[in-house]
């Protein structure tokens, strides 16, 4: 389950569902405590804070409460100084700037895929297609992933959110075209219908 | 005015939040319990003083007592490292000190991050390389940044050399260890100041020592024997790099958390140079690999 509350106008906090375990507070409380810092900074600076600052706010929470929280987070956004940026804040509170990042339970299945499929300098459409393909591959193999895919695109034009229902995703290995009922399969063609066994 | 005591306590904000730093244990110094009305007064006073002064005295705020050894929560005190870096190797050579490390950040057995710089320059005279938890290394860099900045602000022509930084790191690591909240790193500190070369190590327990060649993590077992037999006094840059690369290759072959992307850094009287990351060629043409069926029938 993707949990994507917006921190500010220009960055998103993505907490891949199963990597977020907190004792005594829910993911929403964490977001709320950070989300209160972001608007305050906006008032102080007169402009939205940079992605780096947002990522560091989250890192501070994660690092300083290492014993009590366990959250792996990816902060992505756009600001006018450095453009689009992605900061990964895994368990423990390390902060690393990366060209792309994956996380969560289904991400184990995506390391190889991203190594092969990600390229520098992709366009917006290519990048969204890649993300969609990656998440749908994870859904295919990870028990804890499924349902729908929601994507967020953040650039100089703002934030665009897209929704892809599960049945619109491509099919992978050993997955079959969904049907309404067996009756449709039977009425469609007589090639795959088995004969009753005689002996 | 306040109604029942339960509602009174509800009106006061929660004190057990980790973000406030105010704790009140319901018993006093002598071990006898504190009555609820007194608790209410103490909590209110603590909150007021915390707001005025930014801190509350220990008889109102029992947070300090909770860090004494009798109050340590053993379940959460010894933290675990999550994103870790593997070995760092350092050697002294003719012009100064040379350090090498790979650029990997492992997440358990996964080689999750492949471009983590684990050697950083500190001030004008030192290099710090770290293995262990990367978030703690990043925190140490912040502490050192503050230290160096403070030193520079004096603007008195003096600058912190490797010996001073090493001592500072030792104290920080040992103090954290005493509070059962260590910075989970093994650090290599190398530097040159006024012609004097310095190379030292600090571990997460605060153990520190100085030597001509050092290594952390797996390097202790795989690289140090090579360094002990092949290191010599006053090697030039090329010889030193070749020796380091020999150690790095052994670590690459044998340490599961190393990756084939290394960074070598040198520190001399002129300053620190961190060379760009590069990969080494590996050799797999051993005769034993060519015909494994010689030893095991039926395999290939």
Contact B122, B274 (CB under 8 A): no
Per-chain mean pLDDT for chain B:
88
The most confident of the ranges A178-192, B68-82, B237-251 is B237-251
pLDDT in tens, B124-181: 999 999 999 999 999 999 999 999 999 999 999 999 999 999 999 999 999 999 888 8
Tell me what percent of the residues of chain A surpass a pLDDT of 70: 80
Q: Binning pLDDT at 50, 70 and 90, where does residue A43 land?
A: confident
pLDDT of residue B298: 78
CA B217 to chain centre: 12
pLDDT of residue A32: 52
* DSSP letters spanning A89-129: E-TT---EE-SS---SGGGGGTHHHHHHH--TT--HHHHHH
Residues 2-21 of B with CB under 8 A from A: 18-19
Q: Binning pLDDT at 50, 70 and 90, where does residue A42 land?
A: confident
Query: Reduced to 3 states, what is the DSSP secondary structure of residue B88?
Result: strand
> Mutate which of A22, A96, A110, A120 to test chain B, going by most B C-beta atoms within 10 A?
A96
> Mutate which of A94, A104, A108 to test chain B, going by most B C-beta atoms within 10 A?
A94
pLDDT at A10 over 80: no
pLDDT of residue B290: 79
> Is the Cβ of B135 closer than 8 Å to some Cβ of chain A?
yes
Q: Comparing C-alpha atoms, which of A28, A24, A3 is closest to residue A14?
A: A3
Q: A192: which residues sit within 8 A by CB, 6+ positions away?
A: A185
- Tell me the CA end-to-end span of chain B in Å, nearest whole number: 87
Tell me whether residues A92 and B76 touch, CB distance under 8 A. Answer: no
pLDDT of residue A87: 93
The answer to whether the Cα torsion of B103, B106, B109, B110 is positive or negative is negative
pLDDT in tens, A110-129: 999 999 999 999 999 999 99
pLDDT in tens, B196-253: 999 999 999 999 999 999 999 999 999 999 999 999 999 999 999 999 999 999 999 9
- Classified by CATH at the fold level, domain B83-274 comes out as 3.60.20
Give the Cα separation of A105 and A11 in Å (integer). Answer: 23
Nearest by CB to B135, which of A65, A94, A108?
A: A94
User: What CATH homologous superfamily does A2-172 map to?
Assistant: Aminohydrolase, N-terminal nucleophile (Ntn) domain (3.60.20.10)
Nearest by CB to A94, which of B18, B115, B134?
A: B134
Q: How many other C-beta atoms are found inside a 10 Å radius of the C-beta of residue A139?
A: 20
Give the Cα separation of B300 and B298 in Å (integer). Answer: 7
In this prediction, residues A3-31 reach a mean pLDDT of 44
List residues of A whose CB lies inside 8 A of any B CB. Answer: 33, 59, 63, 65-68, 88, 90-96, 98, 108, 111
Give the Cα separation of A70 and A62 in Å (integer). Answer: 7
Phi and psi at residue A198, in whole multiples of 5°? Answer: -90, -40
Q: Comparing C-alpha atoms, which of B87, B84, B86, B85 is closest to residue B214?
A: B87
In this prediction, residues A141-158 reach a mean pLDDT of 89
Name chain B contacts of A91, Cβ cutoff 8 Å.
Answer: 82-83, 107
Q: Comparing C-alpha atoms, which of A75, A90, A88 is closest to residue B108?
A: A90
Tell me whether residues A95 and B116 touch, CB distance under 8 A. Answer: no
pLDDT of residue B62: 82
pLDDT at B8 over 60: no
pLDDT of residue A64: 85
pLDDT of residue A37: 67
pLDDT of residue B12: 53
> Is the Cβ of B79 closer than 8 Å to some Cβ of chain A?
yes
Nearest by CB to A67, which of B79, B110, B112?
A: B79
Domain residue limits, chain B: 4-69, 83-274
ipTM over 0.90? The verdict is no
Nearest by CB to B138, which of A65, A94, A111?
A: A94
Who has greater pLDDT, B291 or A18?
B291
pLDDT of residue A27: 47
How many angstroms away from the CA of B135 is the closest CA of chain A? 4
The least confident of A32-46, B91-105, B282-296 is A32-46
Crossing angle (nearest 10°) for helices A37-45 and A51-64: 140
Give the Cα separation of B65 and B60 in Å (integer). Answer: 11
Give the Cα separation of A89 and B135 in Å (integer). Answer: 9
Query: Reduced to 3 states, what is the DSSP secondary structure of residue A151?
Result: strand
pLDDT of residue B54: 84
Who has greater pLDDT, A130 or B59?
A130
């Amino acid at each position: 389950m993707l949990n994507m509350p917006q921190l500010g106008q220009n960055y998103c906090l993505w907490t891949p569902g199963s990597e977020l375990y907190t004792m005594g507070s829910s993911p929403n409380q964490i977001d709320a405590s950070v989300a209160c810092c972001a608007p305050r900074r906006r008032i102080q600076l007169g402009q939205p804070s940079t992605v780096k600052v947002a990522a560091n706010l989250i890192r501070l929470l994660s690092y300083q409460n290492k014993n009590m929280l366990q959250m792996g987070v990816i902060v992505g956004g756009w600001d006018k100084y450095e453009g689009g940026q992605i900061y990964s804040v895994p368990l423990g509170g390390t902060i690393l700037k990366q060209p792309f990042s994956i996380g969560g339970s289904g991400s184990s299945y995506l390391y190889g895929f991203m190594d092969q499929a990600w390229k520098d300098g992709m366009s917006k459409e290519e990048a969204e297609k890649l993300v969609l393909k990656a998440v749908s591959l994870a859904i295919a193999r990870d028990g804890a992933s499924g349902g729908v895919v929601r994507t967020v695109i953040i650039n100089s034009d703002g934030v665009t959110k897209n929704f892809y229902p599960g049945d619109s995703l491509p099919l992978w290995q050993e997955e079959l075209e969904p049907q309404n009922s067996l009756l449709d399969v039977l009425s469609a063609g007589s090639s795959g219908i088995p004969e009753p066994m005689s002996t | 005015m306040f109604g029942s005591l339960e509602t009174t306590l509800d009106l006061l904000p929660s004190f057990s939040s980790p973000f406030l730093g105010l704790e009140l244990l319901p018993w006093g110094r002598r071990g006898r319990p504190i009555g609820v009305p007194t608790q209410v007064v103490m909590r209110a006073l603590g909150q007021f003083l915390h707001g005025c002064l930014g801190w509350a005295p220990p008889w109102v705020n029992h947070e300090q007592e909770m860090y004494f050894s009798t109050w340590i929560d053993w379940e959460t005190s010894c933290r675990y490292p999550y994103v870790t870096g593997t070995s760092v190797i350092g050697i002294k050579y003719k012009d100064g000190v040379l350090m090498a490390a790979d650029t990997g950040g492992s997440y358990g057995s996964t080689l999750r991050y492949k471009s983590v710089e684990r050697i950083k320059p500190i001030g004008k005279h030192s290099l710090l390389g770290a293995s262990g938890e990367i978030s703690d290394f990043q925190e140490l860099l912040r502490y050192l940044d503050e230290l160096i900045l403070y030193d520079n602000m004096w603007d008195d022509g003096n600058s912190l050399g490797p010996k001073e930084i090493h001592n500072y790191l030792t104290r920080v690591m040992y103090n954290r260890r005493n509070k059962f909240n260590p910075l989970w790193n093994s650090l290599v500190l190398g530097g040159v100041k006024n012609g004097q070369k310095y190379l030292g190590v600090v571990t997460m327990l605060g153990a520190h020592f100085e030597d001509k060649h050092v290594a952390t993590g797996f390097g202790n077992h795989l690289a140090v024997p090579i360094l002990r037999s092949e290191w010599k006094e006053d090697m030039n840059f090329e010889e030193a790099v070749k020796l380091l690369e020999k150690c790095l290759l052994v670590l690459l072959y044998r340490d599961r958390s190393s990756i084939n992307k290394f960074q070598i850094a040198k520190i001399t009287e002129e300053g620190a140079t961190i060379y760009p990351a590069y990969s080494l060629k590996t050799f797999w043409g051993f005769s034993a690999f060519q015909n494994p069926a010689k030893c095991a029938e039926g395999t290939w």
